[in-house]
Structure 1
Amino acid sequence: MTTQLDDIRAKLIATFSPTECLLEDESAAHAGHAGAASGGSHYRLRLISAVFEGKNRLNRHRLVYDCLDDMMQQKIHALAITALAPSEIK
């Protein structure tokens, strides 16, 4: 049985073939928040992928949101994204 975290991670890996995909569930830190009441979870993502090469921050975030579109609003309430190209890693 897979968890929601596993499902999100699988979509990201299939779409971006990342060299790094760190996904953390921060929902517990947001207990009592309006988004938590609706059932949506809070996540923090660090994704490193060649797909982001030459793209600005806004376009990178749009790509991530497009990838997870079917999960947004119902399963994901908030997603803090750090999206980097491999050339940006030192």
Structure 2
Amino acid sequence: MTSRGANALLSRAIRMETKLKSVLEASVLEIEDVSHQHAGHAAVKGSEGETHFNVRIVSPNFDGQNLVKRHRMVYDALADELQSGLHALSIVAKTPQEVAQNK
């Protein structure tokens, strides 16, 4: 089996977690599959699910980056997923310092 074939056996959430932790060095990562809330939408029809996710990520790599750049970093890390059926992400992206200030 090719590595892509083996990769396809893992859930999208697990693949996303692996990529975000390694590429963005996430210290906090919460991934919630909310695809069921979008059943029947045009982008979901004919798919096998796992199309819509909420992502909360804390990464030191976001330091000095504005919100748009942070989101772009997440999208870049998940480019393969976006090309293979991931339709929508809701992203909360913070630095460790921002999280510590809000405690």
Number of equivalenced pairs: 90
Larger Rg: 2
Q: Percent identity?
A: 36
Selected match of 1:3 from 2, 11, 18: 11
Partner of 2:88: 78
Q: Output the CA distance in 2 between the equivalents of 1:67 and 1:50.
A: 15
Partner of 2:58: 48
Q: Output the CA distance in 2 between the equivalents of 1:67 and 1:38.
A: 25
Unaligned segments of structure 2, at least 5 residues: 1-8
TM-score in terms of structure 1 length: 0.92
CA RMSD of aligned residues (A): 1.4
| Structure with a larger share of its residues in strand | 1
Higher relative contact order (CA 8 A, sep 6+): 1
Unaligned segments of structure 1, at least 5 residues: none
